[in-house]
Amino acid sequence: MKLAKLFALVALCIVSLTLSALAADPLSSWNDGKAKQAIVEFVAKVSKKGSPDYVPPTERIATFDNDGTLWAEQPMYFQAFFVFERIKALAPQHPEWKEKEPFASVLKGDVKAALAGGEHALLEMAMATHACMTTEEFYMIVTDWIATAKHPKTKRVYTEMVYQPMIELLAYLRANGFKTFIVSGGGIEFMRPQTEKVYGIPPEQVIGSSIKTKFEMRDGKPVLVRLPELDFVEDKAGKPVGINAHIGRLDKALDEAQAKDWTVVDMKNECKRIFAWE
Amino acid sequence: MKLAKLFALVALCIVSLTLSALAADPLSSWNDGKAKQAIVEFVAKVSKKGSPDYVPPTERIATFDNDGTLWAEQPMYFQAFFVFERIKALAPQHPEWKEKEPFASVLKGDVKAALAGGEHALLEMAMATHACMTTEEFYMIVTDWIATAKHPKTKRVYTEMVYQPMIELLAYLRANGFKTFIVSGGGIEFMRPQTEKVYGIPPEQVIGSSIKTKFEMRDGKPVLVRLPELDFVEDKAGKPVGINAHIGRLDKALDEAQAKDWTVVDMKNECKRIFAWE
């Protein structure tokens, strides 16, 4: 009897220890490999007071690309689906598009032909779907689309195409005093309506490509109008420029990148599951 | 004896209550007038859960102008002193400036004549002192200057020319879950080296005017070079554009401004003391 009780107690302890260990792992989608270990060690050493690598909380900045880093980018950038679907939605107001490239190809469902026009065609499609409206109107259009549009392969909304291991990493960094940013080639006002809900990243911590805007009064109401003119492309050599413009803390990152070996993470190898619904 | 003890106790209570009341007032430099009351009431209603005006912490954004709002702007913008003093410091490397306006007038100490050239002259002086160096070099120059240059009237360093009531207001808002930003016509990289220490506002929450920068490798080291070309002027109709670009939460502010009476604060009337050293 006594022994049985003891066994029961030991069993209970083991179960509860296992449960709390499971609950306690903030990176549970990650395999217990080198990458996970490097992340945990890095966070420990920069957040431990007195450590030679200590970084005060106000200087703990973590930046993330979006497409292919925080959410999927296959079979093409999700913002490209937005462009093509918006062209189809707007076609009734643009009868001339039936004859005019690259729009005619999009309406025929031939994406490849639409993209054959290169950068110029791309820009024309982007402006036709992103500009000549107020920021508030664009916000509503993006919000509607993101709530309803479905990924062609998985048939899930795009906000379910976010990588679960990265969601865990973002939360883990924030729990350790980091401020998390997105720095992406994607449209800044295309990303901002969703990033807070999906990633826990507020609009002011999202940096992306932008078009110019202009302050105007419309019917006595102050608005910002989106102009069909590129402002900034947050890609390649534009990335450090944008990080400096928005965050103003670039120098240390550049020094670090040069001085230290960085851990390159391939999610396929490092993670147990990629999407939350898997 | 008993009565004496009671009196002592009551006296002690009064003293300690008074002390804690003094310590508890986070806006102690403000007079107990309408403006202070409006601030306290506003903060209370937006931060009280269940209040119809409740704003969740992630959406509590407070923006401040800098010149004439957080620090003084008399007898002229402090950044203008920086420009004139840098021209004098750089003059030995530019013998041609002795004959060339607006530099010649600056070197003679005639600010008025230097400014007679209008916007073009101003831009020329700004570029000669702000561009054609890396962001890191500019950071060092600004940091050195701000640590040593003195205000012509008070003979104090410029970081002591900050308004104490506004420092209290910034801290009060942050203590109530607000994220505080600077949105100023001043140079973004001129402000950023000081704002964290002086105002408790980190670089990524500072928005200002900017010149273009370019990513480059110099001696195998990645740098951003400041180009002699205006990027963005964060003033007048540019302010809402900049707020939207950096913070991405403009619409609500525009609605609010229109829908409600805003309290206009004149520090001379509302505050007991302006500078911390007064």
Cα–Cα distances in angstroms (integers) from residue A132 to residues A95, A128, A226, B48, in the given order:
18, 8, 5, 39
- Give chain A's mean pLDDT: 90
CA quadruple B30, B32, B36, B41: dihedral, nearest 10: 140
Give me the pLDDT at residue A24, please.
76
**CB–CB contact A248 B196 (8 Å):** no
Residue A258 has pLDDT above 70, yes or no: no
Q: How many CB atoms lie within 10 A of CB B264?
A: 7
Nearest to B215 among A202, A214, A241 (CB): A241
Nearest to B244 among A213, A240, A247 (CB): A213
Q: How many CB atoms lie within 10 A of CB A92?
A: 8
Q: What is the pLDDT of residues A83-105, one digit of tens each?
A: 999 999 999 999 999 999 999 99
Give me the pLDDT at residue B212, please.
96
Helix (H) or strand (E) holding A36: helix A34-47
Nearest to A240 among B221, B224, B237 (CB): B224
Give me the pLDDT at residue B252, please.
65
CB proximity B188 to A under 8 Å? yes
| Number of residues that this document lists for chain B | 278
What is the spatial distance between Cα A263 and Cα B160, in angstroms, rounded to a whole number? 44
**CB–CB contact B246 A58 (8 Å):** no
Cα–Cα distances in angstroms (integers) from residue B108 to residues A3, B85, B113, B161, in the given order:
98, 12, 10, 27
Q: What DSSP character marks residue A163?
A: B
What is the spatial distance between Cα A162 and Cα A267, in angstroms, rounded to a whole number? 12
Cβ proximity of A86 and A141 under 8 Å: yes
Exposed/middle/buried for residue B23 (C-beta within 10 Å: 0-12, 13-18, 19+): exposed
User: Which amino acid type is present at position A195?
Assistant: T
Residue A3 has pLDDT above 70, yes or no: no
What is the spatial distance between Cα A203 and Cα A193, in angstroms, rounded to a whole number? 7
- The phi and psi torsions of B137 (rounded to 5 degrees) equal -65, -45
What is the spatial distance between Cα A232 and Cα A242, in angstroms, rounded to a whole number? 8
Of A4 and B236, which is predicted with more confidence?
B236
Give me the pLDDT at residue B276, please.
87
**CB–CB contact A222 B205 (8 Å):** no
Residue A9 has pLDDT above 70, yes or no: no
Residue A21 has pLDDT above 80, yes or no: no
For testing the chain A interface, which of B134, B224, B225, B234 should be mutated: the one with the most A CBs within 10 Å?
B224
Q: Which residues of chain B fall short of a pLDDT of 50?
A: 1
What is the spatial distance between Cα B40 and Cα B248, in angstroms, rounded to a whole number? 26
Nearest CA in chain B to A238: B215
Own/partner pairs, A193-199, CB within 8 angstroms, 24+ separation: A193/A139, A193/A142, A193/A143, A193/A146, A194/A142, A194/A143, A194/A146, A194/A159, A196/B58, A197/A159, A198/A71, A198/A159, A198/A162, A199/A70, A199/A162, A199/A167, A199/A170
Give me the pLDDT at residue A11, please.
61
Nearest 5°: the CA angle A139, A171, A154 is: 60
- The phi and psi torsions of B156 (rounded to 5 degrees) equal -105, 155
Strand duo A133-134 + A221-232: pairing: antiparallel
- Give contacts of B240 with chain A, Cβ < 8 Å: 215, 222, 224
Tell me the shortest Cα–Cα distance from B106 to chain A, in angstroms: 30
Residue A62: band (very low, low, confident or very high) from pLDDT cuts 50, 70, 90? very high
3-class DSSP assignment, residue B247:
coil
CB proximity A250 to B under 8 Å? yes
Give me the pLDDT at residue B272, please.
86
The counts of H helices and E strands in chain A are 12, 5
Residue A5 has pLDDT above 70, yes or no: no
User: Which amino acid type is present at position B35?
Assistant: A
Nearest to B224 among A139, A241, A247 (CB): A241
**CA torsion through residues A141, A82, A70, A231, sign:** negative
Structure-token pair, residue B64 = 């401040």
Give me the pLDDT at residue A1, please.
47
Q: How many CB atoms lie within 10 A of CB B277?
A: 10
**CB–CB contact B58 A196 (8 Å):** yes
Residue A142: band (very low, low, confident or very high) from pLDDT cuts 50, 70, 90? very high
| Number of residues that this document lists for chain A | 278
Residue A256 has pLDDT above 70, yes or no: no
Structure-token pair, residue A209 = 């490509």
3-class DSSP assignment, residue A227:
strand
Nearest to A54 by CA among A177, A184, A200, A216: A177
Residue A61 has pLDDT above 80, yes or no: yes
What residues contact B1, with CB distance under 8 A and at least 6 apart? none
Question: Buried (b) or exposed (e) across B168-181, using 16+ Cβ within 10 A?
Answer: bbbebbeebebbbb
Alpha helices for B25-76 (secondary structure H): 34-47
What residues contact A235, with CB distance under 8 A and at least 6 apart? A185, A209
CA quadruple A67, A73, A76, A79: dihedral, nearest 10: -40
What is the spatial distance between Cα A168 and Cα B119, in angstroms, rounded to a whole number? 51
- Give contacts of B58 with chain A, Cβ < 8 Å: 196, 202
CB proximity A214 to B under 8 Å? yes
- The phi and psi torsions of B223 (rounded to 5 degrees) equal -140, 165
